[in-house]
Amino acid sequence: MELSVLLFLALLTGLLLLLVQRHPNSHGTLPPGPRPLPLLGNLLQMDRRGLLKSFLRFREKYEDVFTVHLGPRPVVMLCGVEAIREALVDKAEAFSGRGKIAIMDPVYQGYGVLFANGNRWKVLRRFSVTIMRDFGMGKRSVEERIQDEAQCLIEELRKSKGESWETNGKERQLYKNLQEINAYIGHSVEKHRETLDPSAPRDLIDTYLLHMEKEKSNPHSEFSHQNLIINTLSLFFAGTETTSTTLRYGFLLMLKYPHVAERVYKEIEQVVGPHRPPALDDRAKMPYTEAVIHEIQRFADLLPMGVPHIGMAISFDLVILPQDTEVFLILSTALRDPHYFEKPDAFNPDHFLDANGALKKNEAFIPFSLGKRICLGEGITRAELFLFFTTILQNFSVASPVAPEDIDLTPQECGVGKIPPTYQICFLPR
């Protein structure tokens, strides 16, 4: 055997021994979990059908707080409503840091409000919240824009004349899509620069460009070109993509359970009627429809593992977590907790209705996460889901060439989330 090969094997053996010896000391304060192999961690113990299945299996043995090694990297998993709330609400500041997602990191690189940390995150979040408020978040103007978009969608659906559509449920190349959207935003920014009127900013990009100009002499300013691109990408992707995917899943469920769709339509007919578009004020008078939308979000469970957090050195679940511990919050374990939802694996709008048929709150319903990193667009997403869902069902009944009992609800994994399978749907004008 060549000397170089022998030296390589000796070096590799020494490295493995070093890792084995260091493991108990360096990670002694982490919660218990499956014993990792050097370098590989727990990868060989993972279920090939998906990470979530593996984590749920580990939870059965190690309960709600445990450590998994993804390769050499230890990650703490938090499951269940109590553990998640303790981290994100009771100890919000300690768990406000953001971890990385490998498939997204080449695009985001720590920029933008979604993946930024420290002062950058605070500056961008404050800016984003202010902009969304100033440009209509929670105001009538946003509702009118959503209603206009919903009517445009109705006109497009009418063109199908009841013919079958195929939804795009195929697993997509997430990284490629992010790059394409990134390039589109870059072109949009350049157009905004050329037509910018400092006295009348039109939107987020205009306002950001004015901040860039104001702080151009500050070498530590977070209002950089890269933050503008990625912040806009974060808001676009988190809002538009989540809403469209939830609606696709929602109409698949309406095909599977046509009696639910019919009951929603009857409530629309009773409260809204056929001659005006649904409005956000109607929500208070449409508890069943609201319960159905909540149940679509719960059942779809689009981001079962949420987005990773980074924790400070803090006492949690009888251990002292080391500084910069990476933490995954398995939101799926809250959304499907049998203590809060009678039939967690079944689609059942009654999960959100009380004995009198009124909408009821459920503290385990956290599709937008919790705490300091809660989704910025929660309000507008809820508005979009209600207005699009009700406007479509006001104007169309839905049908499938497949019998309801044969419709498959099994989601496909897409990067860090889930998407509904491809299916056929017909929009039949009422």
With b meaning 16 or more CB within 10 Å and e meaning fewer, what string describes 387-422? bbbbbbbbbbbbbbeeeeeebeeebeebbbbbbbbe
> Which residue from 87, 137, 115, 125 is spatially nearest to 317, judged by alpha carbons?
87
Question: What CA–CA distance (Å, rounded) separates 98 from 34?
Answer: 25
Domains of the chain: 80-429 (1.10.630.10)
Confidence at residue 423, expressed as pLDDT on a 0 to 100 scale: 94
What pLDDT, on a 0 to 100 scale, did the predictor assign at position 231? 87
- pLDDT per position as a tens digit, 60-98: 999 999 999 988 989 999 999 999 999 999 998 888 888
Tokens 């399978």 label which residue?
A: 421
What local confidence, expressed as pLDDT, does residue 136 receive? 63
User: Which of 110, 106, 275 has the alpha carbon at shortest distance from 174?
Assistant: 106
Which residues fall within 8 angstroms of residue 270, CB to CB, at 6 or more apart? Answer: none
| pLDDT on residue 365 | 97
CA angle, residues 425, 427, 430, in degrees to nearest 5: 150
Residue 156 has what pLDDT? 93
State residue 233 phi and psi, 5-degree precision. Answer: -60, -45
CB within 8 Å of 370: residues ≥ 6 apart: 84, 85, 88, 89
Q: pLDDT value at position 108? A: 78
SS (H, E, C) 377-393: CHHHHHHHHHHHHHHHH
Query: For residue 260, what pLDDT is reported?
Result: 98
Known binder of ligand: residue 79? Answer: no
The total number of residues written for the chain in this structure: 430
The pLDDT score that the predictor gives to residue 25 is 38
Q: What is the pTM of this model?
A: 0.86
Taking the CA atoms of residue 264, residue 270, residue 276 and residue 279 in that order, the dihedral angle to the nearest 10 degrees is: -60
DSSP reduced 3-state for 217: coil
Contact 96, 309 (CB under 8 A): yes
Alpha-carbon gap, residue 84 to 30, rounded angstroms = 17
Place of tokens 């002499």: 217
* 3-class SS letters over 336-375: CCCCCCCCCCCCCHHHHECCCCCECCCCCCCCCCCHHHCC
Share of the chain above pLDDT 70, in %: 88
Q: What's the pLDDT at 175?
A: 53
Per-residue pLDDT of the chain (430 residues; tens, 9 = 90+): 454 444 444 444 444 443 443 343 344 488 999 999 998 999 999 887 778 889 999 999 999 999 999 889 899 999 999 999 999 999 988 888 888 777 677 777 888 888 888 899 899 999 988 888 777 665 567 888 899 999 999 999 999 888 888 886 444 555 566 677 878 888 999 999 999 999 999 888 999 999 999 998 998 899 999 999 988 888 777 667 789 999 999 999 999 999 999 999 999 999 999 999 999 999 999 999 999 999 999 999 998 988 888 877 777 776 778 888 899 999 999 999 999 999 999 999 999 999 999 999 999 999 999 988 888 888 888 999 999 999 999 999 999 999 999 999 998 877 668 889 999 999 999 9
Dihedral angle, C-alpha 54, 58, 59, 60, nearest 10 °: 110
